[in-house]
Structure 1
């Protein structure tokens, strides 16, 4: 029974993750701009800085 529940949780997490925009994409940057800064992880903050604040014009 525990295996079935664990499998269900894992599949749900995978399905939800599939709906997330790609890190660094315009949609991801917009999503992160709307998310409260206090809820960001260190990785998200670094990725936002790298991909959204210091984005070059040739990266779309």
Structure 2
């Protein structure tokens, strides 16, 4: 019963935790990346930062 309860709580909370991240390419995301040390960036982070924050391209909506 405890495992079921923990799983239910985790499943309910997980979307709330992931929703806190700003959308990749948004102004908030660019500001967050400016504050993040460059050594912690992934290759995708650096590519997207260049595209969205330096060249001001807008991310494609799915």
After superposition, residues 5-16 of structure 1 pair within 5 angstroms as: 8=10, 13-16=14-17
Where does structure 2 lack aligned partners over 5 or more consecutive residues?
Answer: none
TM-score, normalised to structure 1, is 0.69
Structure 2 residue matching 1:30: 3-state secondary structure: helix
CA RMSD of aligned residues (A): 2.4
Matched, 1:50 2:51: yes
Unaligned runs of 5+ in 1: none
Q: How big is the shift at 1:50?
A: 0.3
CA radius of gyration, larger in: 2
Give the number of aligned pairs: 56
Residue of structure 2 in register with 1:37 after alignment: 38
Give the TM-score taking structure 2 as reference length: 0.67
Superposed structure 1 runs of 4+ greater than 6 Å apart? none
